[in-house]
Amino acid sequence: MFERLQKKWKVKGWQLALILITFTIGGSATGYIGKKLMPVFAIGPAWLWVLVYILLVTIIWPIAVLIVSIPLGQFPFFIKYIGKLGRRIGLGSSDVKRETSNVKRLTSDVSRFTHIAIFASGAGSNAQKIIDHFRDHAIAKISLIVCNNPAAGVLQIAAKEEIPVLLIEKDRFYKDDAYIKELNEYRIDLIVLAGFLWKIPVALLNMYPGRILNIHPALLPNYGGKGMYGQAVHEAVIKAGETESGITVHYVDEIYDNGKIIFQAHCPVLPADTADSLARRIHQLEHQHYPKVIERVVAGINEV
Measured at the alpha carbon of residue 166, what is the angle toward residues 123 and 283, in degrees to the nearest 5? 25
- Tell whether 160 and 290 lie within a shared domain: yes
CATH value at residue 140: 3.40.50.170
Q: Calculate the dihedral angle through the C-alpha atoms of 26, 299, 182, 97, rounding to the nearest 10 degrees.
A: 0
DSSP structure class, residue 39: G
- Tell whether 76 and 123 lie within a shared domain: no
- Give CA–CA dist 198/200, Å, rounded: 6
pLDDT at 98: 55
| CA neighbours closer than 13 Å in the CB half-sphere of residue 83 | 16
- Tell whether 128 and 246 lie within a shared domain: yes
Q: What is the pLDDT along the chain (304 residues), one digit of tens a residue?
A: 777 777 777 777 888 888 999 989 988 988 888 888 877 777 767 777 778 778 888 888 889 888 988 888 788 788 878 877 766 665 544 554 555 555 444 444 334 689 999 999 999 999 999 999 999 888 899 999 999 999 999 999 999 999 999 999 999 999 888 999 999 999 999 999 999 999 999 999 999 999 999 999 999 999 999 999 999 999 999 999 999 999 999 999 999 999 999 999 999 999 999 999 999 999 999 999 999 999 999 988 765 4
User: Among 72, 107, 142, where does a domain finish?
Assistant: 107
pLDDT at 50: 77
The residue from 115, 133, 137, 216 that is catalytic is: 216
- Tell whether 185 and 286 lie within a shared domain: yes
User: Among 107, 136, 154, where does a domain finish?
Assistant: 107
| CA neighbours closer than 13 Å in the CB half-sphere of residue 123 | 5
* pTM, two decimal places: 0.65
- Tell whether 57 and 177 lie within a shared domain: no
Phi, psi dihedrals of residue 241, rounded to the nearest 5°:
75, 25
- Tell whether 68 and 167 lie within a shared domain: no
- Tell whether 170 and 295 lie within a shared domain: yes
Active site residue 234: no
- Tell whether 67 and 85 lie within a shared domain: yes
Number of domains in the chain: 2
**Distance (Å) of CA 149 to CA 198, 214, 292:** 11, 18, 27
- Tell whether 241 and 173 lie within a shared domain: yes
- Tell whether 134 and 275 lie within a shared domain: yes
Map residue 66 onto helix, strand or coil: helix
User: What domain range includes position 132?
Assistant: 114-303
User: Among 64, 87, 107, where does a domain finish?
Assistant: 107
In one letter, which amino acid is 11? V
Burial class (CB in 10 A: 0-12, 13-18, 19+), 48: exposed
- Tell whether 161 and 84 lie within a shared domain: no
- Tell whether 78 and 204 lie within a shared domain: no
